[in-house]
Amino acid sequence: MNAAVDQDINAIPIDKIDVSRPERFENDTWQPWFARLRKETPVHYLADSVNGPFWSVTSHKLIKEVDTTNTVFSSEKGGIALPDPIAIEGQIQGRSFITMDEPEHARVRGAVSPTVAPTNLAELEPLIRERAADILDNLPIGETFNWVQEVSVELTARMLATLFDFPYEDRRKLIHWSDITTAVPEVTGDDSIDMDERYSELMECAGAFYQLWMSKVGQPPAFDLISMLQNNPETAKMNEDPELFLGNLLLLIVGGNDTTRNSISGGVIGLNKYPDEYQKLRDNPDLIPNMVAEIVRWQTPVIHMRRTALEDYELGGQRIKAGDKVVMWYLSGNRDETVFEDPDRLIIDRPNARAHVAFGFGVHRCMGNRLAEMQLRILWEEIMQRFHMVEVVGDVERLPNNFIRGIKDVPVRLHPH
C-alpha cells in the first residue's frame, strides 16, 4: 500500500469516512479504507452521505450476524442496495424475492430455485461446456483483445440465453437489460443516465419476456426457467402481476450476469497479478474447484447488500435503531485478516476459500451459486486445455459502482500450448 495514501486515510476522522464513494471502486483503492474500519470500528456510522446516514458492517463475523438475523434486518423495508428505492409515479417497479422478507420470500424462492437445482444443472452442463469451448476456439491468437467483451460477457450471455431458452441471436439484449438495471446514478455517481430511456428499455425487456412466456404456454414441460415457472402452481400466473414478473426475471438476469462476468475477468487479473499461483494451476489443474471459490472470494462481485433494521439491535457494541440503514460490505468481509491469512492475495489452494461471504449468508444466500461455480469451473477447465497463459498486457479498467464490482476492460494476449 502507498504510504502517502495510508497517511491521508489516517488523517481523516473515523466518523467522516465514506467507503461507499464509487470512485474508490473505479480506482481500486478501497482496501485501506475498509481495513481501517475493520480495525477501529467494524460497525461504523456515517451520519451524512449522498445516500443519507448509514451503518457499515465490515467484519466477516458481524456480516454473518446481520445476514442471519433476518427477523431484525429486513430486505423488504428499504431494499437491498444503499440508495433507497425510488418510486416514480406511473412506472412499474420490479418486485422480486430478493427484496421480500419471510414468509413470502421462502414461498417464491422455493418455487424458482428448482431451476438451478443440481439435477437441472447437470442437464445444462454439456451445453454450457460446448458454448464455452466454441468461444475459446474462436479467439484471435497473436492479437490484443478485451477479455471482458470477448469472453466474460459473451459466455455469460450464452449461459443466460440457455437458462431462459431466450432467442439465442438476441442474447446480448439480456446483458444490456442487466447493465441498465444496476446502473442508477446513486450507485455509479453518474448523473447523466437518462432515467426515462432506462425505463422504456426495461419495459422492452418486460415485453420480450412476456412474449417468450406466452410462446411457451401449453407446451410440454422443459428444463428452461420460464417453463419451470409456468409449471409450478406458485408462479404459474406470475405474468399477471407486472411488478413480480419484471422483478423476478430481472433478478435472475442481473443475478447471473454481472456477477459471473466479473468473476471470469477477475480470475484472469488475479492469476496475472500472482504468477506463482498461475504456475500452481498449470502444475495441478485439479485445483480448479478450489480456485473457483478463491476467485469468487478475491473478486467479490457483489460489493454490498443493504438491510433496514425493524427494531433496535446491538451489533458489535453499537446500538442500531429501528429504521436505520445497515450495509454489509461483503468485499471487506472477504478481506478480513482474522479469517483469511494474507487476505489481499489470491491463493488458489487456500484451505478456507469456501468460507467467503461473497454469496451472502442466511435465507437470501445466492440461489445461483452452484450455477456460477459450475460455469467458472468449466471455463477454466477449457482454458487450461488450450492456453499456457492468458496474459494481461495493458491497464485494467473498472467501473465506478459501489454495488457491483465491475470490470470493463482487460486487454489480453493468448499463449497457446
Residue 36 or residue 364: which is nearer to ligand HEM going by CB? 364
Residue 9 or residue 287: which is nearer to ligand HEM going by CB? 287
Q: How far is the CB of 216 from ligand HEM (least distance, A)?
A: 18
Separation of CA 345 from chain center = 20
Give CA–CA dist 205/197, Å, rounded: 12
SS3 content of the chain, % helix, strand, coil (to 5): 55, 10, 35
For cell 418455487, the residue is 111
Q: How far is the CB of 296 from ligand HEM (least distance, A)?
A: 5
Q: How far is the CB of 337 from ligand HEM (least distance, A)?
A: 21
Residue 340 or residue 359: which is nearer to ligand HEM going by CB? 359
Q: How far is the CB of 365 from ligand HEM (least distance, A)?
A: 5
Q: How far is the CB of 54 from ligand HEM (least distance, A)?
A: 16
Residue 17 or residue 111: which is nearer to ligand HEM going by CB? 111
Output the DSSP codes for 34-58. Answer: HHHHHHH-SEEEES--TT-SEEEE-
Q: How far is the CB of 312 from ligand HEM (least distance, A)?
A: 22
Phi, psi angle pair for 135, to nearest 5°: -65, -50
Q: How far is the CB of 70 from ligand HEM (least distance, A)?
A: 9
Cross-strand pairs, 46: 54
Give CA–CA dist 140/136, Å, rounded: 9
Residue 313 or residue 361: which is nearer to ligand HEM going by CB? 361
Residue 51 or residue 248: which is nearer to ligand HEM going by CB? 248
Q: How far is the CB of 304 from ligand HEM (least distance, A)?
A: 9
For cell 443493504, the residue is 306
Q: Under 8 Å CB-to-CB from 305, ≥6 apart: which residues?
A: 67, 75, 80, 81, 327, 328, 330, 360, 364
Give CA–CA dist 74/309, Å, rounded: 6
Residue 22 or residue 256: which is nearer to ligand HEM going by CB? 256
Residue 17 or residue 58: which is nearer to ligand HEM going by CB? 58
**Terminal CA-CA length for the chain:** 35
Contacting positions for ligand HEM (CB under 6 A): 67, 97-98, 109, 116, 251-252, 255-256, 259-260, 263, 296, 301-302, 305, 330, 358-362, 364-368, 371-372
Residue 36 or residue 248: which is nearer to ligand HEM going by CB? 248
In 3D space, the residue among 52, 39, 353 whose CA is nearest the CA of residue 186 turns out to be 52
CA 380, 384, 386, 391 torsion-angle sign: positive
Give CA–CA dist 346/352, Å, rounded: 12
Q: What is the DSSP letter of 381?
A: H
Q: How far is the CB of 388 from ligand HEM (least distance, A)?
A: 26
Q: How far is the CB of 212 from ligand HEM (least distance, A)?
A: 16
Cross-strand pairs, 327: 56, 306
Residue 135 or residue 363: which is nearer to ligand HEM going by CB? 363
- Contact (CB, 8 A) for 99 and 80: yes
Cell of 410: 482487460
Give CA–CA dist 403/172, Å, rounded: 22
